[in-house]
Structure 1
Amino acid sequence: MASANASYSVLEKPLGSAKHIRIVGIGAGASGINMVRTLRNNLTNYEHVIYEKNDNVGGTWEENSYPGCRCDVPSHNYQFSWKPNPDWSNFFSPAEEIKEYLWRVCEEERMSDVIKTQHKVTGAWWDEARGLWDVSIRNLSTGEDFRDQANFIVDASGILNNWKWPSLANLDRFQGDLIHTASWPKNFDWADKTVAVIGNGSTGVQIVPAIQPDAKQLYHLIRTPTWIVPPRVMSMMMMGGPAQEILGEIEMDEMENFTPAQIKKFKTQPEFYEKFVKAIECDSNRFFPTILTGSPVQAFATEKVTQYMTACLGGDEKLCKALVPTFPLGTRRITPAPRYLESLRAPNVELVLDGIARVVPEGIQLTSGAIVELDAIICASGFDNSFSPRFPVVGRHGNVQDIMKQETPKGYMSCALAGVPNYFTFFGPNAPIGHGSVFTLTEHIARYVTRIIRKCQNEGIKAIVPSDAAVRDYSEHIAAFMPRTAWSAPGRSWFKGGKEYGPVTALHPGSRIHFFHMLEQFRGEDWEYVYDNASQNRFSYLGNGFSSKELDPNANTTWYLDKEAASARL
C-alpha cells in the first residue's frame, strides 16, 4: 500500500475557511459598481479597491455628454435589478440621468471607500512564484506613480470607453473646432456654423438630429449605410409581443416622455411597476431570431424596417439608395434614431458619400477633389474595440497587448483569458455587448466571477486560469456558429473589429438568455489550478475535520432539515 505524501500535512483550519485576499478592480462604470455590491454580499475576509481614471464614477456615461446622447435600451431595463428607479423621465434615458443614477447608487450604497477616482492603471505583471499581480497606478491629480498588488484583477474598463480619432490624413492641420463626441467640449456652440459630422454609428445618428436645427450647414459624411429601426414603443405595439398590453396603459407624450401621473404610478404601485419592467425585458429578449440569417423573423423585420426608412426619407430615391442597406438586418448594430432620417431631408443638411482624401486647414478634401469648407469637424468615429488592453498585462504567455494585436481575440465566456491567471474581464472577446441592457448582463457576469473567486478563497487555490484547450474549443464553437448570423455577413462593423470581412469578435454566439444560462454553472474541468499548499494536494482545504458551518455560534447547524432545503431542486 502506498504511503502518504511525506510533504503533506493537514491544514489546521475548518472546511469553509476563507483565506484573506486582495482584489484590484479597474473602472467604476456600471460593471465596476455592481461588482462592489456582489463582492460585499458574497465574500468575507477580503480587500477591494477600484482604480477609476475619471473624476467621477459612471464610465461611458460620465464621459459622453454630446447633444442627443441617450441610451437605446428602454430606461426601466437599463438599471440594476437591485436598484429600481421609477423616476426615469423618458422611455429611453438621457445620458445625464444615467450618470446621475450611477452617482446616486454609489452614494446610497456607500461605495466611495472602495473607489479611487483620478487613478489610472498603467500596467499589470503576474508573479507566478508569489501568485500575485503587481499593478502600476498613476495618481492623475498628483502625477505620482505607485505600485499595488492583488490576488485577483477584475478588469471592468469597458468596451465602449477608449475613444479614437478617425484615421484621416492631416487631421491635426484643421484650423477650426475639432471635436470627438466622447470628449465633447462644454462650451462648444454649433449655432450658425458650418459643421461636418463624420460617422453614422449609434452616436452619429443621435447627434445629427440634435444639432441640425441650429447649424448653418451640416455635412454628414458616411461610408456605409446603417439600419434605422422604428421607435421601440411603435415596434412593440405593432409586433404584438409581451409588452403590447401594458404599453397601452402607459402615459407618454409624443417624445416618449413619461407624464408626471405615470411616474407617480410607478412609484406608488410597485406591482404594476414590476409588471411593466418584466414585460419590456421579456420583449427585448425576443430579439435574437431577428439576426439569424434567412429566418422568417429576419425577413419580416427587414421588410418592415425598409418600409419605415423609406417613409422617413419621403421616398427620396437618392437618399433611399444611399441609406437603406443591402446587407442583412443586424450586420451592423441595429439602432433606433428618432428624427435622424427626417433631418437628412432638411435644406441645411447634405449627405456626403464621397471618401475623405485628407483634412486641410479650411476643412475636408474629398476623393473627388472637392473641398468642403468648415467651421467644425465632429468625429463620431467610435472606440478602440480591439480588446487589446490599454496598458501592459503580462501573464504566462507574455503581454496580452501583443497577443491581441497578432491574433484573433479569444477569451473564455468573455470573462477570462488563456494564460492570464486570476484575471477576469467584463465584456471581453465575444461578450453579449449587443444583447440588451448592460446592467443586467453585468450582474450575471459579476456573480459568475465572484463564485470563482470564492472557490479560490475557500479551497486554497493560489492561481486559476482557463486552459488553452478550453479557450481553443470555445473559440472553435464561436467560429462555427457565427455564419448563422447577420453579424458575420459582409459589411463594415465594430462587431468584426471595424472590418468588412472577418471573424466576429465582439458578440456572444447565442441569445441573451443563452448567455445567462451558460454562466449558471462553473465548469471546473475547463480550468487549471495551482494550490497554496506545497504538495499541490487539491483536498488540503478539507482541513481539520470540522466545518465552519458548525463552529459559528449563530449558524443554523441543521439547515438540511429545513423545509426549503429538503424540497430544493438540484
Structure 2
Amino acid sequence: MPGSFHSSANETSSTYNPGEFCIDEYRPIRVVVIGAGFSGITAGIRFPQKIPKVDLTIYEKSAGVGGTWFNNRYPGLACDIPAHCYQLTFEEKRDWSAFYAPGSEIREYLQGIVDKYKLMRYIKLRHEMVQAKYDEPSGKWHLRIRRPNPETGEIEEIEDVADVLVTAFGSLTRWRLPDIEGINDYKGELHHSAGFDPLDKTWQEVADGWSDKKVGVIGVGSSALQLVPALQPRVSKLVNYVRGQTWLAVPFAANTFANLLGRDPGAAEDFTFTEEERERFRTDPEFYKKFRYTLETEINSLHSSTLQGTPMQEMGRELFRKNMEKKLAKKPEILKTLLPDFPVACRRLTPGPGYLEALCEDNVDFVSTPIKRFTEKGIELADGTQHDLDVVFCATGYDTSFQMPFDIIGRNGVKLNDKWNPHPVHYLSVCVEDFPNMFMSLGPNSGVGSGSLLALIEFEILYACQAVAKMQRERLKSMEIKAEAQRDYDQYLENYFPKSVYAAKCRSWYKAGKEEGRIVGLWPGSTLHALKSLEHPRWEDYNYEPLDPVENRMYWLGDGQTYAEKTLTGDRAWYLAEEYIDRPPVPSDSS
C-alpha cells in the first residue's frame, strides 16, 4: 500500500535535480464523469473552471441530460421541496410557475444550464458504462463503454482511459417492477412510475385519454403521492394500493410562502405563482433574493426534527396528525390505516399536495389489503377480491442497495460491489479505500433528511475538484483514502444514527428498502454539517503515490519560476486581482 513520501536526514545533502518545469506548468489531466444529472452537469461546469488543462468527458447512458429528471415523466411529477430551494447556488431561475415546480420545468432548467455553459462539448449521450478498472502500474482508470455506432446505429463497445473517475449517477436511478406473482400475465397497460414514457406527448395528453379507464397505483411513496392527485380527476376509477403507513407533511414553509407573497396564510392551498408574482421575481432581484434566502434558511432549521424525542419532532408529529385527520374527515377509516406509529421523517417526508384530498373523492378507493397476484385483467387481493384495471402504475421505488449495475474494479482486483456487501463502506460519501483517484457525488449516505440536496451536490463536486487540483499541482500519480480514516468514519456513521428517527422501525430507501438495519441513504447530520465537513478536505487522511520516479517530495516545485515569468506572458501581478485580495474589515469607532 502506498504511503506518504519520505526522506532521511542523510538524503538532504545528496545531489538533486529540480524538475525542468514551472510550478504552475500543469500537466494535462483527464477526468471522466459517469452521469449527466445535477451532479454531472455541475462537474461539467466546475472542472473546466477549476482545473487548467483538464480533458473532460461526461458519459450519460440516457438520450438526454438531467438524470432522474430526464427519465421520470410520470403524471404529476414535481419537485417535493420548494423550487427556489432546488436550484444551483450560482444559477438562479426567477420564473418558476409553482412553489413545487413540475418536472418539465426542472428538465428545462437543467437543459438551459447545459446550453449556457456549452456542456455538450463534454457530454456523450447514450454511452453506458460497462466496466471501470483501475490499473495500478499506470495509476489510470481503464473504461469500457457501450454505445450505438455513430454511423450504423449498431451497439458496440469502446474503450477509454482516465486519470480520475467521478461517479455522478446517484442512488435513485435503477427502478424495477415489484416482485408480484403474475405480473407478466397482466394484459392491461403496465408502467413503473420511473419507466413511464409519454413519447412525443405530455403526460396530461396521455392521461386525458384515460377518462373512461380504471387505473391502479401501487405504493405510498413520493411518486405515488404525486400520481394519485394527478390522475384522480382524469380517470373513471382510481385504486391506490397501500402496503405501509406514511406521514403526510403540511407543505414545507407554507406560511412563509404566503407571508412573503402577501397572501392570506389561512386561505385554501394554492401553490401556483400568479403572473404578477412571477413578474416581481423577474424584475425585483432583492425580493427574489429575500424569498429564496428566507426559504433556504427555514429548511435548514429543521434538523432537530430528525432527532428522537426533540420538541420539534413531537410538534411535527402532532401538527401532521391533525392535518391528516382534517383532510381525511370524509373517509376517517383511511386515517386509521395510513397514520404511522413510527416517528415523523423515519421514511422520506413529503407534503404530497392534493393526495389526501384525492383519496376522499368518490372515484378513488384506498386499499390496504395485501396484493396476492396480478391477473390478466387486473389485481387479486389476499382476501380473494378481484379488481379489473385498464392501467396500473407501480410506484414501488428503486434499487437502493448501492450494488452497481456494472463492475467498478479497484486496486488488487477488488470489486466495489463486493466491497459494499452487505452495505457500503466509504469516507465522507466521496471516496472508498482500494479505489484510488475515484470520487463520488450522491454516493452512499449523501441524501439529506432536511435542507438543500443541491448544495451538498455542489460541495461534493467541489471536493473532487480540490482533490484533482492537488493531484495536478503536486504531480501525484494516485491518492487514496487511508483504511484507518475510512474505518473511523464508518464508526461515526454507526454511532450517529441510533439517536435519529431514521433508526426507528419503518420501511425506507434510507435503509435500502428494509424496515430495520444500516442507514445507507442519508448523511449523518444536517445539510449544513455536510457542507462544513466537505468544505476543507483533510489531506492527511490520504495516501499518495508520486507521478515522477523521484523520491524528493518537493519535486513539484519545479524550476523555481511560474509560467508567466518564464514566457513573459499572462498576468504577472495576479495577486493584486480583486478575487485574490482578502480585504479585512475595518473596526468602527463603536467597536
- Report the TM range for the smaller structure's normalisation: over 0.9
1:401 to 402, 405, 417: 417
* Contact kept in structure 2, 1:253 and 1:259, CA below 8 Å: no
* Contact kept in structure 2, 1:429 and 1:506, CA below 8 Å: yes
Counterparts of 1:289-438 in structure 2, within 5 Å, are: 289-314=304-329, 316-396=331-411, 398-404=414-420, 406-438=421-453
Runs of 4+ that moved beyond 6 A: 5-8, 249-253, 560-563
2 CA distance for matches of 1:461 and 1:568? 38
2 CA distance for matches of 1:247 and 1:324? 32
Query: What residue number does 2:142 align with?
Result: 134
Deviation at 1:536, TM superposition (A): 4.6
CA shift digits 1:153-194 (9 cap, x unpaired): 111112211111112123211111111111113156432222
2 CA distance for matches of 1:303 and 1:412? 37
What amino acid is the match of 1:486?
A: V
In structure 2, the gaps of 5 or more residues are 1-8, 199-205, 587-591
1 CA distance for matches of 2:268 and 2:60? 38
2:522 to 507, 510, 526: 507
Q: Is 2:140 the partner of 1:123?
A: no
1 CA distance for matches of 2:143 and 2:240? 43
Q: Is 2:244 the partner of 1:220?
A: no
1 CA distance for matches of 2:94 and 2:224? 29
1 CA distance for matches of 2:380 and 2:480? 50
Query: What residue number does 2:29 align with?
Result: 21
What amino acid is the match of 1:160?
A: L
Please state whether the residue corresponding to 2:31 is helix, strand or coil. Answer: strand
Q: Is 2:168 the partner of 1:151?
A: no
2:216 to 165, 171, 196: 196
Q: Is 2:552 the partner of 1:532?
A: no
What amino acid is the match of 1:205?
A: L
1:520 to 520, 527, 535: 535
Please state whether the residue corresponding to 1:402 is helix, strand or coil. Answer: helix
2:498 to 480, 483, 489: 483
Deviation at 1:537, TM superposition (A): 3.8
Counterparts of 1:209-288 in structure 2, within 5 Å, are: 209-234=229-254, 236-237=255-256, 245-248=259-262, 254-288=269-303
CA shift digits 1:467-522 (9 cap, x unpaired): 22211110110110101111111100000010011011100111111111111111
1 CA distance for matches of 2:577 and 2:323? 60
Deviation at 1:5, TM superposition (A): 9.3
Q: Which segment drifts farther, 104-113 or 436-445? A: 436-445
CA shift digits 1:371-407 (9 cap, x unpaired): 3222222100111111122210000261112332x22
CA shift digits 1:311-336 (9 cap, x unpaired): 01016442111111110001001111
Query: What residue number does 1:240 align with?
Result: none
CA shift digits 1:60-106 (9 cap, x unpaired): 11111111100012112211222211111111110001101111111
Deviation at 1:138, TM superposition (A): 1.1
What amino acid is the match of 1:401?
A: N
Q: Is 2:482 the partner of 1:467?
A: yes
1 CA distance for matches of 2:585 and 2:33? 35
CA shift digits 1:508-552 (9 cap, x unpaired): 111111111111111011111111122454322122222457556
Q: Which segment drifts farther, 108-117 or 314-323? A: 314-323
2 CA distance for matches of 1:432 and 1:219? 31
Q: Which segment drifts farther, 218-227 or 453-462? A: 218-227
Give the TM-score taking structure 2 as reference length: 0.90
1:107 to 105, 110, 115: 115
Please state whether the residue corresponding to 1:55 is helix, strand or coil. Answer: coil
Q: Which segment drifts farther, 535-544 or 215-224? A: 535-544
* Contact kept in structure 2, 1:550 and 1:557, CA below 8 Å: no
* Contact kept in structure 1, 2:401 and 2:423, CA below 8 Å: no
Q: Is 2:60 the partner of 1:52?
A: yes
Deviation at 1:30, TM superposition (A): 1.1
What CA RMSD, in Å, does the superposition of the two structures yield over aligned residues?
Answer: 2.4
Query: What residue number does 2:589 align with?
Result: none
- Cα–Cα, structure 1 residues 364 and 153, in superposed 2: closer, same or farther, change >3 Å? same
Please state whether the residue corresponding to 1:213 is helix, strand or coil. Answer: helix
* Contact kept in structure 1, 2:130 and 2:144, CA below 8 Å: yes
Give the number of equivalent residue pairs: 562
2 CA distance for matches of 1:131 and 1:340? 52
* Contact kept in structure 2, 1:396 and 1:419, CA below 8 Å: yes
* Contact kept in structure 2, 1:159 and 1:385, CA below 8 Å: yes
Query: What residue number does 2:581 align with?
Result: 564
Please state whether the residue corresponding to 1:105 is helix, strand or coil. Answer: helix
Query: What residue number does 2:180 align with?
Result: 168
Please state whether the residue corresponding to 2:128 is helix, strand or coil. Answer: strand
* Contact kept in structure 1, 2:61 and 2:126, CA below 8 Å: yes
Please state whether the residue corresponding to 1:101 is helix, strand or coil. Answer: helix
* Contact kept in structure 1, 2:306 and 2:449, CA below 8 Å: no
* Contact kept in structure 2, 1:418 and 1:466, CA below 8 Å: yes
Please state whether the residue corresponding to 2:118 is helix, strand or coil. Answer: coil
Query: What residue number does 2:6 align with?
Result: none
Query: What residue number does 1:40 align with?
Result: 48
Q: Which segment drifts farther, 381-390 or 43-52? A: 381-390
What amino acid is the match of 2:435?
A: V
Deviation at 1:434, TM superposition (A): 3.5
Deviation at 1:560, TM superposition (A): 7.7
Q: Which segment drifts farther, 359-368 or 83-92? A: 359-368
Deviation at 1:7, TM superposition (A): 9.8
Please state whether the residue corresponding to 2:120 is helix, strand or coil. Answer: coil
